[in-house]
Amino acid sequence: MSDFERQYTRVDTVRKILDDRIFGIGDPDRQRNAFVHLYGVGQACAMIALKRGHDGNYAELACIAGMLHDFVKFEVAGDIPAHAKKSALRVWPLLQATGEFTEEELTMICTGIANHSDKLRTDDEFSEIIKDGDAMQHWLRNPAEAFFSEKSRNVALQKEFGLNGDPEKRI
């Protein structure tokens, strides 16, 4: 393989699953929101995992969990009750069917997805990355506002990433 040849990864497998899902959403506005949020959270999760010292393989799993964390959302406006747990239940068989994930990896990914709505609780390290990735994407999509429930997470992320701002540059 040359240096410039792209390597096929499990993120590509998941991208196909996710794109199928998003293209199945009728409303173009919700489709756009789904693309921006789900791929955005995937990237934020990868960055947070790497920042916390994990390797590329772990960051790949975090990216995948981030991409799929709201899998059952976006069909309708507003929140869907228990969407985190419902998403985990939908995602497990889809990932298992690819044959590309071990049982342990499926457990990590689906536990992270199932826990992601409980932002005021602290769970295992992987789940915390998915929650923080979710919070970070919401924040960076519009840096001037943050959901109340995610505020303390974003304050901590600003500190962790050195994004507290220079008081002299405040407008």
Please identify, using beta-carbon distances, which residue of 70 and 128 lies nearer to Fe ion. Answer: 70
**Per-residue burial over 119-136, b = 16 or more CB atoms within 10 Å of its CB, e = otherwise:** beeeeeebbbbbbbbbbb
8, 18, 38, 17: which is closest to 138 by C-alpha? 38
Residues 148-167 that bind Fe ion (CB under 5 A): none
Please identify, using beta-carbon distances, which residue of 78 and 162 lies nearer to Fe ion. Answer: 78
- x-marked contacts with Fe ion along 110-129 as a string, rule CB under 5 A: --------------------
Residues 131-150 that bind Fe ion (CB under 5 A): 134
SS3 91: helix
109 close to 64: Cβ distance less than 8 angstroms: yes
Select from 60, 70, 105, 150 the one that contacts Fe ion (CB under 5 A): 70
Question: With contacts defined by CB under 5 A, how many residues of the chain interact with Fe ion?
Answer: 2
CA atoms within 13 A on the CB side of 79: 5
Please identify, using beta-carbon distances, which residue of 54 and 119 lies nearer to Fe ion. Answer: 119
Give min distance, CB of 70 to Fe ion, in A. 4
Give min distance, CB of 143 to Fe ion, in A. 17
139 close to 151: Cβ distance less than 8 angstroms: no
Binding site for Fe ion (CB under 5 A): 70, 134
